[in-house]
Structures are given as structure tokens and as C-alpha cells.
Amino acid sequence: MVKVQKGKMYSLLYAFLILIISYYFVPLYIYGDQQFYIDFYDNCFYPSVDSFECYNSKLGTQEPLYFGLVWVMNKLGVDRNIFIIFSNAVFAYLLCANIFKYYKVSFTRNILSILLLTNYYSIVLLFAAERLKFGVIFVLLYLLATSKYKVLYYFLAMVGHIQSFFFSFYVFLIEVRKLKKLWLKIAIIISMLGVGGIFLFFLSEHISHKVEAYSGEGGSLGSIIKTIFFIILSYLYSKNFKVLLCGIPLIAASFVLDVERVAIFAFFVFIGAFVYYKKPLDPLLILILLYFSMKSIEFLINIINFGSGYI
């Protein structure tokens, strides 16, 4: 009980620190993709406007979860910046809570929490990849939840962002592996495949548009190398072939899609494998995390100077 309470205390502390940081940076990030998110929040909920069609027009997406959350916040009169600031704190709390749940070395858990929250890919989720962040939030809830709510969070993760399907698929395989009865494993797999199939059917047009938008002559060499690197590390830390199996679609996507976000998925698969399999915080991992924490500094400076992390 003491360990659980201590984990909650530290998670709340780190969430509060992210809330303070977000209070400064969120109002500054007004260009790049954020200008479309701001436009959607401010202009798509008048009585004369078809809000969902406006959502599709402004952001080029049909994923319902983010739309529903913004609709509720807008109708309640919540300022957009306040909404994003508190959602960042929720993300930070859930990320750290998972670390404290699955990783048992107290001092290492705090180091890992700090390095992950200051990590470049986490900073991108906090300030740039807004819809993806909400998909990841529900994956993190899935990992923390009791069995009573796991199916709900799994479904919300998938409808939160099409790309968060990689995360939900990964953690779903982990949970199914724990089941004792073969017939129950088969039944759950068939059910989830059915849910996933329905989801993909209704969002097929959106998915095709995303692939077309992100496809060029192929993925950038840097994104491909990073994706392969993270998936290989995931396998080396877990020694589990299923982890490698989950990473193969990401590697394939990195060759087709010219988008850095594929590497984000691969990075969090790597971190998930490290935390779940409780590996020691070795020098290689520390160097990797320090490198990406240093990389986040330039991103934050760009927000201050240019109103966007990407220039």
C-alpha cells in the first residue's frame, strides 16, 4: 500500500510540473498544425455549422474521440489552452503511474519518469501531436485499469487516433497472453478483431487520405533507421518474439510513409518493453534517453521564437 501511495504522489508531482511547463508553452504554440486545431476549436461549434464536417475540413480527420472531447469542452465554455494544459498533466500522470506500477526499483523509476517526460517524443505529444496524445492517454489508462474497464479503454484508444492502433494492438497481445483458458483467448481475439475490422471499415476513407497525404517517394532514411533501431532494442530488452512481431508493421510503415510519427510509435514500443519486462536502467538506455531529452530543447526554443516546434 505504501508503494502504491508513493507512486501516486510522485506521479502527481510530475504531472504538476508538466502543468506548469504547459501553462507557459501552450499559449505560445500557435503556428504549424496548432493553427488548425485552434481554428477548429474556435470556429466549428456555432449553431449554423455542421461541426463534424467542419472537423473533417479543418483537420482532415474523422476520428470521433478527439471531436467528442473538444465538443464537450467547447460547450462547457472551457478555454482551449486550459483544456490542453490539463490534458498534458493527465498524460504525464498516467505515464508516470504506469512506470511506478510496472517498474519496481524506486530510484530508477524517478530517473526514468524525468527522462521520459523531457524526451523529445513526449514533448511532441504534449505540444504538437494533439490527437495522438489522446489516443495514447487511453492506452495508458488501459494499462492501469482493472479488467472491468480494459475493453472500454481499448476501444477508446483505437477511436482516439488511427495510429494509436499500434499501441493498443501491442498491449492487447500482452494481456491476452496472460489468460489461462485457450477458448477465452480465442473468443477475445475474434471479438477484438471484429471491433478492429468495424473500426477500420468506417474509417477506411480517412485512412486512405492519411496514407496518400503522408506518402511521398517513401519514408525518410532517418525515420526508417530510428524505427528499425527502436524495434530491435525492444526485442533485445524483452527477449520476446511477440514484441518483434508487433514492431514489423511499424518498420513496414516507415518505408512507405514519409512521417516522423512512425518513429514515435517505435520509441514507445521500446520503452513499453523496457518497463514491462523490468530491465535495469543500463548505460545504453540512459544515453538514448539523454540524447532525446537534449533534442527536445531545440523544439521548445523553436516554440518560444517561432510559435512552432517545427521550422
At a CB cut-off of 8 Å and minimum separation 6, what does 225 contact?
A: none
What residues pair up with 257 in beta bridges, in sequence order? 215
At a CB cut-off of 8 Å and minimum separation 6, what does 230 contact?
A: 247, 263, 266, 267, 269, 270
Identify the band that residue 106 occupies on the pLDDT scale cut at 50, 70 and 90: confident
Q: Where are the domains of the chain?
A: 1-128+282-311
Rounded average pLDDT over 126-149: 86
- Could you report the per-residue pLDDT of 198-231, keeping only the tens digit for each? 655 555 555 555 555 554 544 467 778 888 899 8
> Residue 217: its pLDDT value, please?
46
CA 249 to chain centroid, in Å, comes to 17
Identify the band that residue 259 occupies on the pLDDT scale cut at 50, 70 and 90: low
> Residue 218: its pLDDT value, please?
46
Q: Give φ, ψ of 131 to 5 degrees.
A: -65, -40
Q: From CA 142, how far away is CA 152, in angstroms rounded?
A: 8
Output the average pLDDT for the chain: 82
- Residue 176's alpha-carbon distances to 28, 158, 180, 192, 284, in angstroms, are 43, 17, 9, 11, 31
Q: What percent of the chain has pLDDT over 90?
A: 40
End-to-end alpha-carbon separation of the chain, Å? 47
Rounded average pLDDT over 279-299: 91
> Residue 74: its pLDDT value, please?
94
Q: Comparing 167 with 135, which gets the higher pLDDT?
A: 135
Q: Give φ, ψ of 83 to 5 degrees.
A: -60, -45
Identify the band that residue 22 occupies on the pLDDT scale cut at 50, 70 and 90: very high
